[in-house]
Amino acid sequence: MLAYIIRRILYMIPTIILISIVSFIIIQLPPGDWVTSYAAQLRAQGTSASIEALEALRTHYGLDKPMYVQYLKWVSGFPRLDFGIAMSVLNTPVSELLGGRLLLTLIVSSLTLIFTLVIAIPIGIYSATHKYTLMDSFLSVIAFISLSMPPFLLALIFIFVPVFYFGAQTVGGLFSPEYIGQPLSWGKIIDLIKHLPTPVAVLTICGTGGIAAFMRLMRANLLDILGEQYIQTGRAKGLKERVVIYKHAVRIAINPIISRIGVNLPELFSGTIIVAIVLNLPTIGPLFYRGLIAQDMYLAGSILLVLAVILLFGNLAADIMLAWSDPRIRYD
């Protein structure tokens, strides 16, 4: 297993290089660059900048250089965790922007994943073992409604109800105004805990990575497994139904869910961008959107690269968990 893990990590290096090239090219494909977007923003505000000033900005950031020179300048800082300067965010280093937001994103994403699995898997098991009953039909209807509801709509409901019915002053965000920009303290941690339920609930209930999706996946997988011959053999031998389901059927039916966790990790980290914007969450989703709109290569490209690395390590972690949960799977 150790040799397999080392081999997979080594395979990630050329994959990450290829992803960085593709990300760089895709973000550079639209006409213009960050200076062009900046000039358009100035015009929208009723001001303007001289051509000389814009060209000076382009020269300062190296945007007048050939594309391969810009790419090499960008990737040369990776070993030092230097992802360049975010031109669209007051010339702040990208690594500095990502540092705090990645931690908050990790907290929100981890809680969302934990609550999703803890709720969805038991519901899926119950629904599969009580198929076509009234409760199964009710749970299926709720799941389909949840899957069809846009997450940002639920986020708006979570904002509307407290403000208009309970008189709440501020809804959304992860911190109260008095704690924004302040150093870490116990008061700030408690304030963060108070603000977490809303974004975690929205991301847990709705979306392709929410409770409904995992519940339906668990139900479908378990129904397939319960029809297998070895399950019928176990029942014929007199095994208790609880042993047949939880020791034999669930252990196999949960494998696709484990695989899906690795794929869903980048989605959880970036979050639904519109939800993060609606709830004013200081996560990497809105930052990524801002970088794309401004054609900020260093910011948007670095976030894409971070999400790709998370995806690769998520898939590796999923493969390791699969080998642990299913004795039939072995990696040589």
pLDDT of amino acid 6: 81
pLDDT of amino acid 134: 93
> Within 13 Å of residue 326, how many CA atoms lie on the same side as its CB?
21
User: Two tokens at 4?
Assistant: 């397999």
Single out the residue of 109, 106, 84, 108 nearest to residue 95, CA to CA: 84
Secondary structure in 3-state letters for 109-123: HHHHHHHHHHHHHHH
pLDDT of amino acid 124: 92
User: Two tokens at 13?
Assistant: 């290096």
d(CA 63, CA 77): 17
**Domains of the chain, residue spans:** 95-325
d(CA 303, CA 259): 23
As beta bridge partners, residue 86 has: 92
What contacts 272, CB < 8 A, 6 or more positions away? 151, 152, 203, 207, 285
Q: pLDDT tens across 291-301, in order?
A: 888 888 888 88
User: Two tokens at 224?
Assistant: 């397939």
d(CA 140, CA 134): 10
d(CA 245, CA 218): 13
As beta bridge partners, residue 236 has: none
d(CA 20, CA 83): 12
d(CA 274, CA 151): 8
Superfamily (CATH) of domain 95-325? MetI-like (1.10.3720.10)
DSSP, res 182: P
d(CA 69, CA 315): 32
Per-run averaged pLDDT (10 residues), the chain, 332 residues:
78 88 86 83 81 85 86 87 83 84 86 89 92 90 84 83 68 78 82 86 76 89 88 85 86 85 71 80 87 87 87 82 69 57
pLDDT of amino acid 175: 82
User: Two tokens at 117?
Assistant: 């699995």
User: Two tokens at 28?
Assistant: 């550079």
As beta bridge partners, residue 231 has: none
As beta bridge partners, residue 85 has: 93
For 76-114, the DSSP string reads TTGGGT---EETTTTTEEHHHHHHHHHHHHHHHHHHHHH
